[in-house]
Structure 1
């Protein structure tokens, strides 16, 4: 029977398995190794105006709000000039190799990376202007993204399509705009909002050469301006005249071209109302190119498009939550005065000189697709706001708003324009009002309505604040691990303000529209709290107006000089059915490598923001560290083998010396014995000659011979020689160590049984005439010099062995420590996963979001710094209001 676990332990084990053990985010699709054989300029590079701090605590670099734009515009003009020179050299019109729609067999210019499958067979075209679906989630989650199906008939250049092509006819105008087959009404609504201001459009359309067919544009991406160029190839709705058709005179082909492939009406995507005007389809092509393809710009919010083309900050207002309508109306009037003044500085009611543009989104809380003639789930432009004295009571001012549908006309079912009060042909229109507003009836997508009706009809109002040279901007990016439970992050942004005034704060995540298909499996929603760092008082709390617009949240607030803290809060939800980045890369590396290169490069560029960890660089650093450790270990092993070899050689030399010593000792013993025999014989002979009988033991007692000390450990036992004096070179320890004497005596006894039994020959008394005894004098000490080097060698060997042992012990200790660490980690994982019968999720929770704080202020020294709490106590102090999670947040 299995071990039972406490219910709390089971639940803890479930959450332990729920969280990923290796959390992190892929920040590089193409690692450095892929660029090893390429020139440096072809590798992803960081933005010139990005502020890459040296460390996480370094502040971002403040700069003028227009610096990034000026650099991108200059770069764009240089590109166009370079292309024109090349066209003159080759005598050919420009063809954009990066976005060549004329030579695109894989339809990479039309569709994104992840597609619904192979391109389906053509289907009957629906009505020209059907009610579009609600704007798709700009994060392009799998469950919300409806794959587009495009079927353009042919591709031709501008001078082939238009009889008298002109980039603009009488300047830019919102009345020029007509939507095509793409679902980019949100972008067209933003263009129409800007088109009545020539200065804003000229900032986007930077340079061109119509003869060479090259056009340069600039857009903002993630707070930085970028430039792009496109050629003048455009998609047409009709196919080319079939070559196999019998047409000997060519009349049928000419008629086909004139009727179906000539003028603005022949274009497949967006087009201008004038039959020879080209700026809108080329601008749409450039916007699609920077995002990767036409499909990537299908579905969105007009405020985001205005941000991309002006560098402003959009705020979404819920029309049913407006607190002070007069304040909103004043901002609408300011935007109208800006359009009349051509973008010159105007002063609003508060004297602030702020600039705004507005757009609208008509949504529905039900399944209705229309309301009073307007298509729901659709974006609209605000062109004018007028305050006109009433015809009957001049003291009363009537508030009216002029709005435009990007369709540019009604659909076949009559849908597309407002049909309520102040609509075309309504009873409110009198000669007075037609003259006062300068309005004419027509099927042009433009209509008037009252300010109150606008608030009741359109659910969302997108207000975009514009910035000029008087503003300073600074931004700071980082990555945040988002927990499954909601709460404010431990890390926070610190904003230092030195000049009192209006400050705009934007907390944003990377625009995933640029790398759809690689956006990962989570959808993030941003919130933040701004508080005074000194007093802890909350200044404002910001959250999204709705859950569909997730790219950024912002606030505008008047701040006094001081330090303020921005506390981010991020909620994450899984995208059902979303595919991981690794899985997508594995599939499309072979299936569609060129599209993967394009989208993957956009992904890498987006994640090259300063402050975002370079995970590929970290991996390379870890690899280099491991390689260095392996080299160090290999070197230690080599040194160990050399020490072992030296030790073996020394031991071999030691044994050789010991053998020589034993041979010398044995020779000495043999010589000593021979001498004793000779001396005894001489003494015996001498005694017989003199007739004397003496007891040599009692007559002269000789000095006892000092035994030779025991050899060093490991040496072979040998017979010791008793001598009458300490030999030269013997150390004091050799002669004075009493503990060694019994051992030496025991060994001597084993080697010489006669001495052990007390039958040693009796030495003769000293005599000056005893010549045979003299040879013993040089022979006795001769053994000492042989034994002394052995002792020295033993000491050296022992020292070397000790050093080797210590080094090996250190190496073994390091290995044991690493092994123990890995074992502990493995045991911890096993303990956390073992209890409980709950099945862990298919993919562990690993939500990592890239966020950045961008601050605009009329303060040249404004600064933003990322701060991590120093302790858990400090992190606990970041809790705002201390309330638990609610039902909706």
Structure 2
């Protein structure tokens, strides 16, 4: 017997929970494309965003941004923004000077106090946020009257020969100043107001499409320390040479005149415009380290509001055309600078110093093109080194054989190592690798601009957000796509850098008109210039993002500096907030109306859906009520039949009792002849047996006559009813629902012979009080029923969850009446089919978190790709009005899943028609 059981278990094994835990779960292998799609889905965040405000509740930045030049139909003269900024700057300087005279104090800049910053060793005016270095190491700070014996702001106006670079890598800025000095009044337009007696100076600069003002005091950094802070050895030498006036002689030798300045200085010993302008430029950017390194073209943009284009020598198609139409217009329509060695392979090796020498031209250094002349067939250019020394040593250099008294007079040139030299056009193209050309705009140009924020995907493609430009007349235009200048909030720029590109299309035409001129080194803006007819055009943006994981995010910078460098964080945070407030998306009237229309349509669709749902619910309720009425009718009919049968059985029992009584009377008549019974048990047993015979006869009569009620459909099992007859005072009352009902599905009972036998056994009556209850018999029979296997469903491998059975109806006394429909059978199928899905979920969890050191699929969940760029479009035009509008995709289009987009051309997403 045991062998037979073991063989059966081997053929049909019944897994236990313990065996399931020990056996390995089979992991499904997914398609390669599915794995790639899941990777990209996790790689990019579903909620892209950017920090737009560093400081808490920065109302000033938002108010300032709301007054900036932007809007759909905003068209202004290019110089109007400058005039407004200059007027505000002059008013501020006059107000400060008046207040200082009232209290008899010289002006001290509370926002950029370099003396207090140096003495307390805070270095907020020297180092950017997130870095502290000793690269800049000035030793003292003094005011202009304490440095210069006879200070003057300008001696003979601002000239390029005045510029000399100090101990900072801002040659790009000084080279731009050299270029500006060649065009009359450009420097004067930057230095708009000053009160030299009070020591307050006002300047204006161009930043992110608008002019801003900057006000400073007259304190400057010096190279040497004060007498009482200098080295003892140095003081001893001065005391030995000048015993009586050692301190005064030390001050005159080390802290007097332009040569004593730590940063930029004028060649004249008493001229002050250059160091003060450099200080104002550093303050506007936050500190001196922020202006360390850059491009001359970008500095010219900051000083003039022009547009710069990067040109490489190897990309010039027609060199004669470049000379005649561009180089020859220097100081008129354009300003030029040049550099070399940008892409040198051997930049830091000794080979570069030996074989890469360019006749004393410094690699990675900015030069300014001061003048272009064509005389007697010679194309010559005047170039200046902002260092104020170090000149070209080739042809047309100082002392070369090309110079004659005639040429010296024609070109008004004098020999000397002042940083200015002449070079031929051919040598310029050979020795310099790149040019930066800045277009200047006069009062006849109009400017329109618009800013927005776009989400930049990892794969560069034309963005969904675009600009729409409308022109009313034919006009020459210059289109510029810019991003925020992060030099103003250095340290908070984040991990992403962006490269811009755009394409211009005309609405209604398939082919594009022009593409932007790409920049390799300069990334702040790209532009193009052309002449356009009136109409509507689209500017499509392509933005390439690169991420540097080693850089700190703005959140990290805030956490690191909120306690240590509070003042610096406030200063840089304000600049950050002012810049990013431009990119705040403001809803236009057309977008608002469209959103309201879509909202109305959505609400109408929801109402229709709710109405359809309510109607479907009402229909189901009506159908359910109809079924309940049918059940009630069947129940009443079966109850009536049951009562009739019960009455017949009771009548038969009464007749049997009557016959027994007659027999007893006959027996009493013959008691005299028969022996007297000792015990009355036999008579009672005889009566009881007779009752059973009569009950059996009644049952037989029921079979031969009308059909007996079906045990599977009757309101109460016949066996239980007969037991009630035999024991009228015991048993369950009529209509009570059994504790363990029979199988609730007819098809299941029909397919199960054990269940059928159980039902047949339940119909047998018993008069024994110690017999097993029907509930226990049913439970024992249910345990012997084998598991149901549904055709087409996978066999479960572990214990299935309990089935969900609907609540029984209050109308039916027995469950058999309640489950006339196939609802319970459907529920059993669902419970079986749900089980493999649970196994798949477990396998998916096992696959998502492998034990054997596999790659975690949640690799990018905590740090996903989240590149967001604030960009602005500026359009310069001469004739007619111009307007710009930002076209953004609707939110529901942006959040559309890739899987939904690939459902097919029918437009159906998850069964719903869009």
| TM-score exceeds 0.5 | yes
**How far apart, in 2, do the equivalents of 1:217 and 1:575 lie?**
35
Which aligned pairs between 1:22-421 and structure 2 lie closer than 5 A?
A: 22-32=47-57, 45-47=63-65, 50-51=68-69, 53=71, 59-104=72-117, 105=120, 106-115=122-131, 117=132, 119=133, 149-242=135-228, 251-332=245-326, 335-336=329-330, 338=332, 355-364=333-342, 365-366=344-345, 367=347, 368=352, 370-389=357-376, 397-409=377-389, 416-421=390-395
Q: CA deviation at 1:581?
A: 1.0
From 877, 880, 888, the equivalent of 1:857 is: 877
**How far apart, in 2, do the equivalents of 1:239 and 1:458 lie?**
40
**How far apart, in 2, do the equivalents of 1:451 and 1:363 lie?**
18
Closer, same or farther: CA 441–832 of 1 in aligned 2, 3 Å: farther
Deviations 1:656-701 (A, max 9, x none): xxxxxxxxxxxxxxxxxxxxxxxxxxxxxxxxxxxxxxxxxxxxxx
Q: CA deviation at 1:587?
A: 1.1
**SS of equivalent residue, structure 1 residue 490:** strand
Q: CA deviation at 1:45?
A: 2.8
**SS of equivalent residue, structure 1 residue 20:** coil
**How far apart, in 2, do the equivalents of 1:596 and 1:476 lie?**
28
- Aligned residue number for residue 435 of structure 1: 409
Q: CA deviation at 1:10?
A: 2.6
Q: CA deviation at 1:422?
A: 1.0
Q: Is the 8 A contact 1:318 1:545 kept in 2?
A: no
Closer, same or farther: CA 173–486 of 1 in aligned 2, 3 Å: same
Please list every run of 5 or more consecutive structure 2 residues that lacks an aligned counterpart in the other structure: 1-23, 588-840, 899-914
Q: Is the 8 A contact 1:17 1:832 kept in 2?
A: no
**How far apart, in 2, do the equivalents of 1:182 and 1:566 lie?**
39
Q: CA deviation at 1:832?
A: 14
**How far apart, in 2, do the equivalents of 1:331 and 1:275 lie?**
40
**How far apart, in 2, do the equivalents of 1:526 and 1:831 lie?**
42
**How far apart, in 1, do the equivalents of 2:307 and 2:34 lie?**
49
Q: CA deviation at 1:329?
A: 1.8
Q: Is the 8 A contact 2:475 2:880 kept in 1?
A: no
**SS of equivalent residue, structure 1 residue 378:** coil
From 8, 13, 18, the equivalent of 2:43 is: 18
Q: CA deviation at 1:5?
A: 3.2
Which aligned pairs between 1:616-635 and structure 2 lie closer than 5 A?
A: none
**How far apart, in 2, do the equivalents of 1:585 and 1:613 lie?**
27
Is 2:844 the counterpart of 1:834? Answer: no
Which aligned pairs between 1:492-503 and structure 2 lie closer than 5 A?
A: 492-503=466-477
Is 2:527 the counterpart of 1:554? Answer: yes
**How far apart, in 2, do the equivalents of 1:268 and 1:250 lie?**
28
Q: CA deviation at 1:12?
A: 2.5
**SS of equivalent residue, structure 2 residue 275:** helix
Q: CA deviation at 1:50?
A: 2.2
Is 2:853 the counterpart of 1:867? Answer: no
**How far apart, in 2, do the equivalents of 1:44 and 1:159 lie?**
40
- Aligned residue number for residue 5 of structure 1: 29
Closer, same or farther: CA 405–167 of 1 in aligned 2, 3 Å: same
**How far apart, in 1, do the equivalents of 2:586 and 2:492 lie?**
18
Which aligned pairs between 1:695-714 and structure 2 lie closer than 5 A?
A: none
**How far apart, in 2, do the equivalents of 1:832 and 1:23 lie?**
30
Which aligned pairs between 1:424-573 and structure 2 lie closer than 5 A?
A: 424-546=398-520, 548-573=521-546
Deviations 1:751-809 (A, max 9, x none): xxxxxxxxxxxxxxxxxxxxxxxxxxxxxxxxxxxxxxxxxxxxxxxxxxxxxxxxxxx
Closer, same or farther: CA 328–459 of 1 in aligned 2, 3 Å: same
**How far apart, in 1, do the equivalents of 2:78 and 2:66 lie?**
14
Q: Is the 8 A contact 1:77 1:207 kept in 2?
A: yes
Closer, same or farther: CA 833–534 of 1 in aligned 2, 3 Å: farther
Please list every run of 5 or more consecutive structure 1 residues that lacks an aligned counterpart in the other structure: 54-58, 121-148, 339-354, 390-396, 410-415, 615-826, 877-889
Which aligned pairs between 1:773-788 and structure 2 lie closer than 5 A?
A: none
**How far apart, in 1, do the equivalents of 2:180 and 2:92 lie?**
25
Which aligned pairs between 1:650-661 and structure 2 lie closer than 5 A?
A: none
Q: CA deviation at 1:335?
A: 3.7
Closer, same or farther: CA 178–227 of 1 in aligned 2, 3 Å: same
Deviations 1:530-549 (A, max 9, x none): 12212122111125231x31
Q: CA deviation at 1:13?
A: 2.5
Q: CA deviation at 1:325?
A: 2.3
Q: CA deviation at 1:239?
A: 0.7
Deviations 1:505-534 (A, max 9, x none): 000100000111111111110011112212
**How far apart, in 1, do the equivalents of 2:326 and 2:465 lie?**
38
From 569, 572, 576, the equivalent of 1:599 is: 572
Q: CA deviation at 1:8?
A: 2.9
- Aligned residue number for residue 695 of structure 1: none
**SS of equivalent residue, structure 1 residue 371:** coil
**How far apart, in 1, do the equivalents of 2:325 and 2:585 lie?**
37
Closer, same or farther: CA 832–526 of 1 in aligned 2, 3 Å: farther
**SS of equivalent residue, structure 1 residue 455:** helix
- Which is further off, 862-871 or 416-425? 862-871
- TM-score in terms of structure 2 length: 0.62
Q: Is the 8 A contact 1:218 1:226 kept in 2?
A: yes
**How far apart, in 2, do the equivalents of 1:78 and 1:182 lie?**
32
Q: Is the 8 A contact 1:333 1:386 kept in 2?
A: no
Closer, same or farther: CA 229–51 of 1 in aligned 2, 3 Å: closer
- TM-score in terms of structure 1 length: 0.64
**SS of equivalent residue, structure 1 residue 375:** coil
**How far apart, in 2, do the equivalents of 1:62 and 1:833 lie?**
59
**How far apart, in 2, do the equivalents of 1:484 and 1:31 lie?**
31
Q: Is the 8 A contact 1:236 1:267 kept in 2?
A: yes
Closer, same or farther: CA 9–468 of 1 in aligned 2, 3 Å: same
- Aligned residue number for residue 694 of structure 2: none
- Which is further off, 176-185 or 245-254? 245-254
Deviations 1:99-158 (A, max 9, x none): 00011121100110011x5x55xxxxxxxxxxxxxxxxxxxxxxxxxxxx1110100011
Q: Is the 8 A contact 1:44 1:601 kept in 2?
A: no
**How far apart, in 2, do the equivalents of 1:336 and 1:508 lie?**
24
What is the root-mean-square deviation of aligned Cα atoms in Å?
Answer: 2.5
Q: CA deviation at 1:402?
A: 0.2
